[in-house]
C-alpha cells in the first residue's frame, strides 16, 4: 500500500499538500463550501491528494506523509475512528470535518497554531481549548473563520479570550431544529460576520 501511495504523491512532493479523506480514497466532484463570504470561499485549499480511511490508519503511510510533505489543508468527508494523526500537521491552515458525531475534544488541533479556517459538523464539544490555545500565533493580516454545523459546545472561554485580541472574520453557527440554541452563548465572541 505504501508504494502505491508514494507513486501518487511523487509529482506533488515539492508542493504543499491539500488532502481529502474519503471512504475509498477517490476524489470528489464537488466540495461543500461552508463560508458565507466569497473571498473566504476562494481561499479554501481544495484537495489535490485523496486518501482512504485505510491509508490514514496505516502507520507507514502517515510516517511518509509527515516526513516528506507539508500538509496545508485536510477535508475529512467520512467518519474516522481517530483524528489524532492531524496533530502531526502543525502548518495546517484549513480543516473541515464532516460526520464528526463522536468528537468531544479537539486535542488533534493542539499543534495547529496558525489555522485560518475550521469547519466541523455534528460534534458535541466540551470546550474549544485546543483550537484557541494561549500560545496560538496571532497574525492580524490573516483572517480566522470558524463554522460549527449542528454542533454543541459546552465552554467558550478560550474563544472569547482569543477574540479579545483578534476578532474572527466569520463565525457560522447552524443547528438542527431539535438542538438547543447555541447562538445565544456566542454573543460574547467578537466577529466581523456572524450567521
pLDDT for position 32: 83
* CA-based nearest residue to 166, from 192, 193, 128: 192
pLDDT for position 178: 62
Which residues have a Cβ under 8 Å from the Cβ of 2 and sit 6 or more positions away?
58, 60, 61, 64
- List, in order of start, the domains of the chain with CATH numbers: 2-188 (3.80.10)
CA 111 to chain centroid:
12
pLDDT for position 162: 85
CA–CA separation, 138 vs 142, rounded Å?
8
pTM: 0.85
Residues of the chain with pLDDT under 70: 1-2, 5, 7-14, 137-138, 140-141, 176-185, 188, 190, 192-195
Contact assessment for residue 141 and residue 116, using Cβ atoms and an 8 Å cutoff: no
pLDDT for position 31: 82
Amino acid at each position: 500500500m505504501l508504494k502505491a501511495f508514494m507513486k501518487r504523491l511523487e509529482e506533488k512532493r515539492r508542493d504543499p499538500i491539500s488532502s481529502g479523506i474519503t471512504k475509498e480514497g477517490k476524489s470528489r466532484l464537488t466540495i461543500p463550501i461552508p463560508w458565507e463570504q466569497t473571498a473566504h470561499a476562494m481561499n479554501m485549499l481544495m484537495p489535490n491528494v485523496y486518501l482512504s480511511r485505510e491509508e490514514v490508519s496505516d502507520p507507514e503511510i502517515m510516517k511518509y506523509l509527515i516526513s516528506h510533505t507539508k500538509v496545508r489543508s485536510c477535508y475529512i468527508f467520512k467518519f474516522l475512528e481517530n483524528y489524532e494523526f492531524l496533530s502531526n500537521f502543525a502548518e495546517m491552515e484549513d480543516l473541515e470535518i464532516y460526520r464528526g458525531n463522536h468528537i468531544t475534544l479537539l486535542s488533534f488541533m493542539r499543534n495547529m497554531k496558525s489555522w485560518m479556517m475550521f469547519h466541523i459538523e455534528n460534534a458535541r464539544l466540551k470546550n474549544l481549548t485546543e483550537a484557541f490555545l494561549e500560545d496560538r500565533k496571532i497574525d492580524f493580516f490573516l483572517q480566522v473563520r470558524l463554522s460549527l454545523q449542528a454542533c454543541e459546545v459546552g465552554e467558550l472561554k478560550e474563544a472569547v479570550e482569543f477574540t479579545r485580541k483578534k476578532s474572527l472574520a466569520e463565525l457560522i453557527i447552524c443547528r438542527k431544529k431539535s438542538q438547543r440554541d447555541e447562538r445565544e452563548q456566542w454573543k460574547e465572541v467578537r466577529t466581523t460576520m456572524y450567521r
